[in-house]
Structure 1
Amino acid sequence: MDDIFSQVREGNAFQVRMWLDNTENDLNQGDDHRFSLLHWASREGRTNIVDMLIQRGARINATNMGDDTALHLAASHGHREIVVMDLVNNGALVGMANKFDETPLDKATRRLANILKDRAVQLGQDLQKIPFKDRSWLGYKTRSRDALLSRHTGIDIEQLSLTTHMANTHSGEVWRGQWQKNDIVAKILSLRECTVRNSRDFQEEFPRLRIFNHPNILPVLACCNQPPNLVVISQFMPYGSLFNVLHGETGIVVDQNQALRFAIDIARGMEFLHTIEPAIPNLILTSKHVMIDEDLAKINIDDPKYYAPDGTINGGIDEDLTARVNMGDHKFSFHERGKLYSPAWMSPEALQRRPEDINQKAADMWSFAVLLWEMETREVPHAELSPMETGMKIAMEGLRLTLPPGISSHMARLVKICSNEEPGKRPKFDMIIPILEKLKQK
């Protein structure tokens, strides 16, 4: 990481792409002045690298130590193409003031400021100045290198402050706590006996779950490998899982547009996971394994819709939620062998055969079809049956989900295509993302 900022400043796109392809590198971390890679690329006019970073999930409105966004820097240096075509088109806020009360419009030349205003208005932005406010607690600040979680792998369990017991699940105990002043969730794997081989396999497998370079993947931050305790550490998500949002009492309204946004997020995350070779096994796609997050660095937190009368953040943030596939729900090779706990989301062939004998990508597409059904109906699939009954009936008796009346014909057709009985005829995720995006536009 020591020289990636230099590579960006110099415009070495090949080296930047190679660095980004390493899943453990976090493109949103900053240098000693909290300049992110996007800050430097925008400042130096490296259009191709700006495009690359945005496509990989760079946080558009994150601020550096001086509270400048990437748009501030690009505007002040007169990089018109980056200002208009890249940053503003992807949600950069033209009215956001830094600590000196300067907006990108103030930083730009008169001609560029006029172009910037016109484009922002076309995209529906409010040109009113957003007064400076310390937003670091909301995730606006670029993460510093010293505090970057992805630098840590194996850690001492004594460094964890586990304060709240959240759940006892089939896979282990789940605790909420803090580590290095970061809110975390720690899952202590349930094992009858933690052998030397278990510890070795755990140490070999967990690094592949630390995927920091995609916005729709929630990485494993670190682990504690101290037998008898094997602990998986992830970032705490206050909204919980998609299952919790759909079926719990979170107060979040998942309307048609939000459901489509979630579907696109999940599809993008799965598309990325399917490009990783060798493939990551034992990750079953269910609504319980998708976490709901908010990227507050991409929105205008000063908009009144985000606040209740008492000044606290309210549910108006619904439309800015994103979905992230949780790598912390991966099942390790030595853990709970032969046991299946979410058969309602699994394809018939996945219930009938061994994992090595099926097309896992096609099986994931079936699971995605169940998620689409779940978000459309707001019902738990096969809720009337126990997991064992569900698995047996899907595998042996042809039990399938039915599409109730009222579902749009386009979505009903997509669910049927994604859950084709023949695995080879199911589409790939890169094929359905454009379809979902068109449905969202409608």
Structure 2
Amino acid sequence: MLIMRGARINVMNRGDDTPLHLAASHGHRDIVQKLMQFKADINAVNEHGNTPLHYACFWGQDQVAEDLVGNGALVSIANKYGETPIDKAKTPLREVLKERAEKLGQSLTKIPYKDTFWKGTTRTRPRNGTLNKLAGIDFKQLSLSQKLNENQSGELWKGRWQGNDIVIKMLKIRDWTTRKSRDFNEEYPKLRARGGCTRRPGWRRKVSGQEPGPPAAGAPPCPLSAPRRGFPTALQKKPEEINRRSADMWSFAVLLWELVTREVPFADLSNMEIGMKVALEGLRPTIPPGISPHICKLMKICMNEDPAKRPKFDMIVPILEKMQEK
């Protein structure tokens, strides 16, 4: 449920342990599998250089250790003290992990511990105990050539980075916090942002151009100077022009869907991914089989693609009352 509600998979405590570290050490195999399913960093290291596999081997969690290796955990990563997960394992498990790693093509040559986390990253300990590692780009590597636009949120510049033409957004942010820096670096990846400078002066986001090849035909120009481009359609209209009734009816249909399925719609997608797929790919909740035909019909009516054809709430009250009687 926490993951479905947006919990961060690779968040760290003060000792740099991720949820996968803790689940592996306590032998919670179902939790380990769920975290791996949601792309947890399987070779994440804590402040001592230990990976989740180190913990599973040390505490004798044999099945968890085998699951980790089967999903890409390296058996030869050395911690701060030069110990690999195999060194931590007891003899039977040690042989099993060696054999499995070799079958998967892993090298058993020890990978030495390297304390390079501070290089090129912003590493801070916020007051809430969450430890964040944020990759950064040195601002000195950016070459600014032309200012494209400026508004209340910041400045937009054209420039170059490592021989590539880029666009740089310099944000005007009054109060810098670690949370803002983390959220800035974890923006939706399909925006094709390659990295960000999360150190002063200012905040910058480097965005690459198109893929190599001919320019996309028919791509409309983007009027960056137009202030309305930065606001949703709803904020550009007068309140009386917004069709809130139809939107509320759609939300009611989604609520019905959650009640009958006891699930979160599109739980495996982020909010941004859901929005993009709904707008561009026609993504809609799928009504599962086996539910009440009356509720199914009501959901379909309330989810009508034509907002004008969705009923009003006073029209569905009698339907709900009849359903209650039955």
Q: Which has the larger radius of gyration?
A: 2
Higher RCO (C-alpha under 8 Å, 6+ residues apart): 1
TM-score by length of 2: 0.47
TM-score by length of 1: 0.36
